[in-house]
Amino acid sequence: MIDYKMKIAEIIAKAADMEAEEVCSMIEVPSDEKMGDFAFPCFKLAKVFRKAPPLIAQEIAEKISAEEMFEKVEPVNAYLNMFVSREEMTKDVVSEALAKGEKFAHSDIGAGKKVIVEYSSPNIAKPFHIGHLRSTVIGNSIYKIYDALGYDTVRINHLGDYGTQFGKMIVAYRKWGNEEDVRRDPIKTLLSYYTKFHVEAEKDPDLDQEARDTFARLEKGEPEEKALWQWFRDESLKEFTEVYDMLGIEFDSYAGESFYSDKMQRVLDELNEKGLMKESQGANVVDLEEYDLGTALITKSDGSTLYITRDIAAAIYRKETYDFYRNIYVVASQQNLHFAQWFKIVELLGYEWAKDCIHVPFGLVSLEEGTMSTREGRVVFLKDVLDQAVEKTREIIIEKNVNTDNIDETAAIVGIGAVIFQELSNGRIKDYVFKWDRVLNFDGETGPYVQYTHARAASVLRKAGEDAAKISADVDYTKIRGEVAYSLVKLLHAMPDVVIEAGERCEPSILTRHIIDIAQAFNKFYHDEQILVDDEAEKMAKLALVASARQAIENGLAMLGIKAPERM
């Protein structure tokens, strides 16, 4: 599509004897449509031209108002407000949407560069709970957005399948476990063992040492410990896969912490060679105080490794395996210090690509009764949330007699879409309290609202019958010059830039909000203007805009990891 900002910048630059890039950076999009499609503030030019900004705006307006791309140019105080040709913009948008179809709002700015996105990463043998939903759906959307921007994106699920907790789990299983119970309900059974371990450890502190010793044996590859660990991992993955299937999420790699167990000695050796690692009370640390990052613990006094060691080993492996352009970690803000520490250590090791490792933090989820705690067994299972969302949606579909060919399929698409959309509709950094009625609320600016808008657009096209097959960009654009139609056109025109911004900021909510705006603009167009009119030229023009809006909504939802039903 036409880059109107740059095109306008070139026109103003010529009139004001400036550089186009500088002008482009100053051009704004007014929040009030009455103030134009684009605005150019002249404050900064006062010193250069030695004139009052309103006078500068007036002079530039006189020079550029005759340009064909403008319907109107108005100097208002220190601003130059510009209204572009509605017909030109509408033709530009509709032509692109119809021609690109499923690729509308996509771009090739990524040029095939490799981007790794690590997300979800639940802990083996622990609940896949509502807190994991954020990393899972935010990460999946970032992956899809980067994919749409033309990057070669790799999805990694860095499973938490290593560490002292497995020593605890193995000890608990040996003392109180039952194979039949684990096979029947793996996660909840293993969680009960883990919870009991911490209760008993309060009475008998020796259990903690026994767990540390057990994990040390696991690290050394002792057959019994390794066999139990592998069993816990396999059973957990079966349950995790059920949830991923419900969410429509896949991964290219499930290489978790254990995958790097034989790659950590290299990290320790390099730290020693660089003189970065020091001994402290039997443990090994890296002093980062001069960078205001405290002290990073690398190995415990018993020689066992920690998350930080494995993360460094993983990053080195990924660079050497994938030669990434960006290495993105979608992990809760609780881990801000952890990531800052190991990013700095990688930099101190001399790896220039440390700057390409990016932590994308997000706020925490808590329950109304307090913070979630795996140790205390206070969690909300994610599968339970998704099941309830689907069931509630199914009840609504039946109650409202919704037009659908498959109730169960529609209930799954809308119910799960509602949960995902709600997660992605607010800025990712915000903390929030999990409430069932909030998650399952389908009123207002929600996923079901946007999905219903898509279904409404699809319904209009179905009702158009044979005319729908004749939709093309070759229509009379003077027939769709109305205010509501043009508001929709401008939102569609902005969508590719919104996708780019969402990618650059790793913030899916930017795209989510824009999709809501498009849905609201389409519904206003649908209510205010009759679409299937007798006038053939007007009807075909409006159908072309409907088809463009439907495509934009479908593509936007797809980038969020949500399906767009044809009937609802």
**Quick one: CA torsion of 173, 306, 139, 185, rounded to 10 degrees?**
0
d(CA 110, CA 144): 13
Pairing verdict, β 326-330 and 114-118:
parallel
Task: Find the catalytic residue in 91, 106, 132, 563.
Answer: 132
Task: Find the catalytic residue in 5, 91, 106, 126.
Answer: 126
Contact 285, 297 (CB under 8 A): yes
End-to-end CA distance of the chain: 32
Tell me whether residue 132 is one of the annotated catalytic residues: yes
Closest CA to 91 of 538, 523, 493: 493
Tell me whether residue 527 is one of the annotated catalytic residues: no
Task: Find the catalytic residue in 114, 129, 319, 539.
Answer: 129
The number of beta carbons lying within 10 Å of the beta carbon of residue 36 is 23
Closest CA to 332 of 141, 120, 561: 120
Closest CA to 191 of 366, 377, 371: 377
d(CA 274, CA 267): 11
Tell me whether residue 359 is one of the annotated catalytic residues: no
Q: CB neighbours of 81 closer than 8 A, spacing ≥ 6?
A: 30, 35, 36, 38, 39, 73, 74, 75
* Cα separations in angstroms, 278 against 269, 282, 315, 554: 12, 10, 22, 55
d(CA 502, CA 146): 9
Question: Mind telling me the catalytic residues?
Answer: 126, 129, 132
